[in-house]
Every structure is written in structure tokens, then in C-alpha cells.
Amino acid sequence: MLRTPTGGAGDGTATADTRWVSIGTVLTRLREEFPEVTISKIRFLEAEGLVEPQRTPSGYRKFAPGDVERLAQVLRMQRDHYLPLKVIREHLDALARGEEPVLPSPGTQRDLGDGVWEAGAATAARIGRGELLAAAQVDEEELAEWESYGLIVAAPEGGYDAEMVTVAKLVADLGRFGLEPRHLRAMRASADREAGLVEQLVAPLRLHRNPQTRAHAEATANELAELSVRLHAALVQTALRSRLH
């Protein structure tokens, strides 16, 4: 007997009047509120563990009403709060446990420690040059060299965002293995090309007349970036295996 997902978790037993629907029907229902959603997006959210549809013996997905509502919740939190999937998953899990977590509102800030402040959707985290040097454990000369190769770039408003802190730490770690900034230029160039591709893909969303669709462009770009990073890592691992074995 099929299980009826509760909040997407998949517990309980289906009753005779449970309306199981196909992924195509789910897409049609979601597009009433989220016109930019695609079947690929639904499958991606499934792969990330945000929803667990049932499978027929022939392998087709079947979604319960709770699955459709959970997908709508995920898309709503991405659109309205610009949250990463990990945070959304934790929020939904907390709701399933009977807790009442509060979603961050755009414009609110919280201290991340080490001089880093995380802002809402409109403003990214920023730290100063001294904090970046301390976080990466490098000196001014090294940081200046990284900047000369385009590996580290200050925000237009000044300071460095959270991503630059991560980049600085990774560049420093790679340097301990003998990789110099000049060796990493190809990675930077590849990242720029991937960013350009993502920008092209989300351009229709940013130009859409629906303001909610335009706002969703950032969340879509973040997901595409995540997938791109995972693909890059898998390709590097595959290439290494072919060379080392």
C-alpha cells in the first residue's frame, strides 16, 4: 500500500481518496503561482531531498497533495526569502517536529562571528581588508598578488563578501601545496565563463513582467551555480581517476 507523505517526509498510509498525481500535473498546479518552475526544477528538488514522491512499479513519479504543498513551500521560501536549500530543509524539518522556526526577513542582519555580518536578501555579508587578511592568514603582499590575478575582488561598495572570504581561504590552502596565483588563473577564467552561462539562463526571468518572477532569478542562479560546482567537482574527480589508475 502506498505511503502518504506528510510534509514531504512520506509517513502514513494512503486512503482511497488520496489524489496521487503525475509530475506533469504537479507542474501545472505550481505554475499558477510560480510560472517559471520546470520539471527539471521539481526533479532537482527531489534529488536534494526536499520532496519524496512515490514510484509506480514502472518507475513513474506519483505525488500526494502534501508533496505538492511542500514543493510550493520550498519555492515560496526561495522567492520571498532567497534562502538556500539547506536552510529551507532545516526549516521544514523543524516544522515537521512541531517547532515554530522564524524565517529571516529581507534586510535583517545577524552576526556570523569573526567580523562577518550576514544581511538579508538585499545586502550580502561584508568584511574589511584587515578581517580578510586574518581569515585567510596571509599578509598584505599575498592578498595584493591575488587581487592582481583577479582571484580576489572587492565589492563595489567596498569590503569583501562571504564568498570572497571562502575564495581567499581556498587560495591560501592551495598555496600550501605549491599552487601559485598564476596557476589559478584558468580556474578564474572558467568560473567567469560559467557565470556568464548562468546569467544567460536567468536573463528571461530577470526581464519578466511579473515582479515575483524577477525576484526568483537570484534563487535560480544560486541553484544553477550549485549544480555547476557539483558537475565541475565530478569532472575533476573523473579526470583524476583516469590519470592516476
pLDDT at position 230 is 86
Give the 3-state secondary structure of 49-114: CCCCCEECCCCCEEECHHHHHHHHHHHHHHHHHCCCHHHHHHHHHHHHCCCCCCCCCCCCCEEEEC
My answer on whether 147 and 236 are in the same domain is yes
235 grid coordinates: 569532472
* 236 within some domain: yes
My answer on whether 140 and 212 are in the same domain is yes
Tally of structural domains, the chain: 2
* 3 within some domain: no
Domain endpoint, select from 34, 61, 96: 96
pLDDT digits (tens, 9 = 90+) for 47-104: 888 999 998 888 888 999 999 999 999 988 877 776 777 788 888 888 888 888 877 6
My answer on whether 86 and 178 are in the same domain is no
Q: Per-10-residue mean pLDDT for the chain, 245 residues long?
A: 39 53 92 85 86 89 92 86 78 87 55 38 62 87 93 88 87 91 90 89 80 73 84 89 84
* 41 within some domain: yes
My answer on whether 149 and 212 are in the same domain is yes
pLDDT at position 184 is 93
Burial 82-101 (b: 16+ CB within 10 A, else e): bbebeebbebbeeeeeeeee
My answer on whether 147 and 83 are in the same domain is no
Contact 101, 95 (CB under 8 A): yes
CA neighbor of 216 nearest in space, from 75, 84, 38? 75
My answer on whether 138 and 238 are in the same domain is yes
pLDDT at position 22 is 92
My answer on whether 238 and 125 are in the same domain is yes
My answer on whether 52 and 167 are in the same domain is no
My answer on whether 229 and 159 are in the same domain is yes
Q: What is the CATH number of the domain that holds 185?
A: 1.10.1660.10
Domain endpoint, select from 96, 126, 150: 96
pLDDT at position 18 is 60
Distance CA 241, CA 219 (A): 33
Is 0.75 surpassed by the pTM of this model? no
Domain range for 117 is 112-244
My answer on whether 117 and 218 are in the same domain is yes
pLDDT at position 104 is 60
**DSSP secondary structure of 108-152:** --EEEETTEEE--TTS--BB-HHHHHHHHT--HHHHHHHHHTTSS
My answer on whether 183 and 146 are in the same domain is yes
My answer on whether 147 and 92 are in the same domain is no
